[in-house]
Amino acid sequence: MKSTNTSSHPSSSSTPYRTTARDYDNPVDYQHPFPSMARFADFLALHYDANRTRHAYYRQIRLLHEHFKVDPSSLTEDQVREYFLFVKLRKLWKPKSIRQALAATRMFYATLLGHTDWTLFRQIRAKDHDSLPAVLSREQVRHLIGRIRLRRYRTPIKLIYCCGLRLSECLGLTIHDIAGKENKLYLRKSKGLKDRVVPLPTSIYRELQNYWRFHQHPLLIFPNVGRGENHPRSVAARMR
């Protein structure tokens, strides 16, 4: 592992390894309200490597349990159908959320509990709507970022915009992930547990350096500010 000397600026090494401090917990370690949900956590651990994926699918079954306030394994096909009508027509879930709930419930009821005769899972359709996303002009983006007063919000948002990062990728960055002299940003264990490299503009690298000098956390670029007095010295001390 490369040195984490913090005397002047974030490390510019290109080959270190780290584990983000914001990893998801493994659902196997959750407090399960029912044995069926513990079994589902074990099932997810065997099928998926990423805890974020395990958490997302487990959460769908937990929401089902919280909706009916019973052991989800005791629900009938008609009750699960009622739930999908509820989230689609009353909660107005987006198609992506419905598809995730469908995948989780199919695994839980058909694969884990053996309800292969349920026809519900073949009936549910949730296609994305063909609509163009809103695209801001550079001037609009410049104006928007300029209105963000606090640097601890402004800096990560600028980085996300300039480098096309996911929020989790940005917040998990460490001093080892920045290769400023090479204009590269290393993203470890991104979606699908894959590593990738993205270009890092020199202007953003300088801004990251200045922000890091403010708090000088031994590992993270964007450590949690925490609660307390909002004076810069107090904030910087908590972030270390």
Please write the tens of the pLDDT for every residue from 181-216: 899 999 987 777 788 899 999 999 999 999 999 999
Burial grade of 69 (CB within 10 A; 0-12, 13-18, 19 or more): exposed
SS (H, E, C) 36-103: HHHHHHHHHHHHCCCHHHHHHHHHHHHHHHHHHCCCHHHCCHHHHHHHHHHHHHHCCCCHHHHHHHHH
Q: Quick one: tokens of 216?
A: 């000088």
Whether the Cβ atoms of residue 152 and residue 225 lie closer than 8 Å to each other = yes
Write down the pLDDT at residue 180: 85
Q: Name the H helices within the chain.
A: 35-47, 51-68, 77-85, 95-105, 120-123, 138-146, 151-163, 167-171, 202-215, 232-239
Write down the pLDDT at residue 128: 85
Q: How many CB atoms lie within 10 A of CB 16?
A: 17
Summarize pLDDT for 168-180 with one digit per residue, the tens: 899 889 999 999 8
Beta bridge partners of 196: 187
Structural domains present in the chain:
27-123 (1.10.150.130), 138-239 (1.10.443.10)
Summarize pLDDT for 17-65 with one digit per residue, the tens: 333 434 678 999 999 999 999 999 999 999 998 888 999 999 999 999 9
Write down the pLDDT at residue 10: 53
Predicted confidence band of residue 107 (pLDDT cuts 50, 70, 90): very high
Residue type (1 letter), 10: P
pTM reported for the whole predicted model: 0.63
